Amino acid sequence: MAITPNKRNNKTLQEPKLNLESIAYDSFTWLNIENPTELSTSYLAENYPFHPLDLDDVLSRRQRPKIDEYKDYLFFVLHFPVYNKVEKVLMPSQVSVFIGKNYLITLHSGNLKPLTKLFRECEIDEESRKEYFNHGPGYLLYRIVDRLVDYCQPIVSKILDNTDDIEDEIFTHRRDGTVREISVLRRDIISFRRTIWPMRTVIASLEPKLRLYTDHDMSVYFGDLIDHVDKIWDGLDETKEVIEGLSATFDSMAYYNYNSGIRTLTIFATITLPALIVASIYGMNIDLPFQNSDHPFIIVMGITLGLSLLTALILRRLRII
């Protein structure tokens, strides 16, 4: 439902085409905007002292993670990985945040489930509102980011499971589609790493800037948050090394199998070469040995088989077969 915020209480007013929802607790309001539009940013421009460039960044789909500090508010952009079920690819999802002394505004596309779930919890449960809102917008922001970071861990676990599946396929000789699976997994790891590293930089610089917006000492909280991000990065780094090793192993095994096939064909061609030579000679329109004998075919076939057998014995003695 498209709604506008009512800062006096937790009620909402319907207003067409404006994707705004709010939760108010005492003098503090959390404004949540899913799929922001120009109408949404126009509303923010009319009611808050936001810089026009920040509002433009909200609508930009290629905005890099960053943090901008102003006299009365902070504005920052973060990306978190989400799985696109249609395109079957891991993609970054942007969340833009404005934070002031009595408000927190989140803008996103609606596919970040932990953020949407937390908003619903605070919307329907008084105890949740009290827990998350009591220490100011800075503390609520930490809880939002913490949930979104925790949301990354199952994705890392899924990537690790896919890595194990690929390993099983390689060593059980079930290789149909393995090259594509390795390529898809590499793509997901690259996308994930590209999302995580800039996010870590922004989160690390947030804590000192949030001191004006909470009555809590957030240093310990954000230190723990950075540890979680580092663990995710380390997990991705480990997975990257594993998938590169598996890719090299798969290439080596495929090359070995290819060479084995070529070797088999070469040996077969070498053994049958005498037969081809004899057949070519006897295909000539000239006088040939044994052509006037009683059983020329049997004699020629015997010579051919004898030469092929001799070739096979020589290859065997040379330990080629």
Predicted local distance difference test score (pLDDT) of residue 7 = 44
Give the tens place of pLDDT for each residue, 308-320. Answer: 888 778 877 877 7
Angle 150-207-53 from CA coordinates, rounded to 5°: 95
Predicted local distance difference test score (pLDDT) of residue 191 = 87
Is domain 257-317 given the CATH code 1.10.3210 in the classification?
Answer: no
Predicted local distance difference test score (pLDDT) of residue 175 = 63
Give the tens place of pLDDT for each residue, 23-62. Answer: 998 888 999 999 998 999 999 999 999 999 999 999 887 7
Whole-model pTM over 0.85: no
Is domain 3-254 given the CATH code 3.40.449.10 in the classification?
Answer: no
Predicted local distance difference test score (pLDDT) of residue 17 = 61
Give the tens place of pLDDT for each residue, 62-81. Answer: 778 899 999 999 999 999 98
CA distances from 229 to 17, 197, 226, 240 (A): 37, 9, 5, 16
Closest CA relative to residue 158, chosen from 180, 189, 200: 189
Give the tens place of pLDDT for each residue, 190-226. Answer: 888 888 888 888 888 888 888 888 888 888 888 999 9
Q: What are the residue ranges of CATH 3.30.460.20 in the chain?
A: 3-254
Helices (H), 210-288: 219-281
Q: For the purposes of burial, counting CB atoms within 10 Å of the CB of 151, is it exposed (0-12), middle (13-18) or buried (19 or more)?
A: middle
Predicted local distance difference test score (pLDDT) of residue 141 = 93
Both tokens of 296, joined, read 């020329």
Q: What are the residue ranges of CATH 1.20.58 in the chain?
A: 257-317
Q: What is the mean pLDDT of the chain?
A: 83
Which has more confidence, 128 or 5?
Answer: 128
Confidence at 139, pLDDT banded by 50, 70, 90? very high
Which of 151-165, 166-180, 230-244 has the lowest average pLDDT? 166-180
